Amino acid sequence: MGDFYDLCIVTNTESLHNFLERAFRLGYKGVGVSGLSISTRDRLEIDSKVEVISRLDLYFDKNIQAKRVLRRERRNFEIIVAHPKNVNTARFSARDGRIDIVNFHGHEYLFSPIQAKLMANEGKALEICLSHLRTLKKLNPRPLTRIIRKYYVMLTLAEEFGVDVVCSSGATNLYEMLSPKDVIAFISILGLGNKAAQALTKAPREILERNRLKLSDKFILPGVMLLDE
């Protein structure tokens, strides 16, 4: 099937090694660690078969807050994920070139057809985080239906408008990391169908490659690059 990426785990640097071992056993090629900058990652000198991807989560309810952080931190992180709280910030997240992925956790209503079209035009990806499911202590039908309906609506909209989807576990401890093929099976029955595998393979890899190229020394401007002689 391919190389799997889990773009969101939340951990500190002490437990990172355990997460990487578990990710390797589950079959992941790379994991995204929230809040880990490129410089910190390089300083840790991690020796693992699993790639460590630096990720920044941006929570904001005014655009000016996001702009300040992005101006300062864009070059310190490989992936930037926006968590908008209102319509203005959702539109800003879709338009700004520095943001890669948009996550509507808690504000799923913001992902409307207009938002989906904007994100598809600008090449932004939608993130589906399965940490929602863990808020359920028992398998009661009503709360589970509510959560799954939110995922279903977002995924069907994303498929209709051609928005790339990225799926992550949002794991805060080792036992919250999920097997990639089980995740693919779950989101395929929720509405992505045959494209479910891309949410863990092709979509995250493309975002990562694009950003690594932009952060490299060869990149000058969009469309202008230094070639090897």
List residues binding another protein (CB under 8 A).
Answer: 22, 25-26, 133-134, 136-139, 141, 144, 148, 173, 175-179, 181-183, 185-186, 188-189
Beta strands per DSSP E along the chain: 4-9, 28-34, 51-60, 79-84, 101-103, 125-129, 164-168, 219-221, 224-225
Dist CA 184 CA 55 (whole Å): 22
Give 171's strand partners.
9
Dist CA 145 CA 157 (whole Å): 18
Under a CB-based contact definition with an 8 Å cutoff, are residues 85 and 112 in contact? Answer: no
Residue 14 host element (H or E): none
Dist CA 45 CA 159 (whole Å): 39
The residue (of 80 and 155) whose beta carbon lies closer to another protein is: 155
Shortest spacing between CB 130 and another protein, in angstroms: 8
Dist CA 124 CA 102 (whole Å): 7
Shortest spacing between CB 226 and another protein, in angstroms: 45
Shortest spacing between CB 31 and another protein, in angstroms: 16
Under a CB-based contact definition with an 8 Å cutoff, are residues 192 and 14 in contact? Answer: no
Residue 158, token pair as written in the block: 């994303």
The residue (of 166 and 178) whose beta carbon lies closer to another protein is: 178
State which amino acid sits at residue 96.
Answer: D
| Other residues' Cβ atoms within 10 Å of the Cβ of residue 228 | 4
Shortest spacing between CB 103 and another protein, in angstroms: 20
Shortest spacing between CB 131 and another protein, in angstroms: 12
The residue (of 25 and 218) whose beta carbon lies closer to another protein is: 25
Shortest spacing between CB 164 and another protein, in angstroms: 21
Residue 75, SS3?
A: helix
Shortest spacing between CB 133 and another protein, in angstroms: 6
The residue (of 13 and 179) whose beta carbon lies closer to another protein is: 179
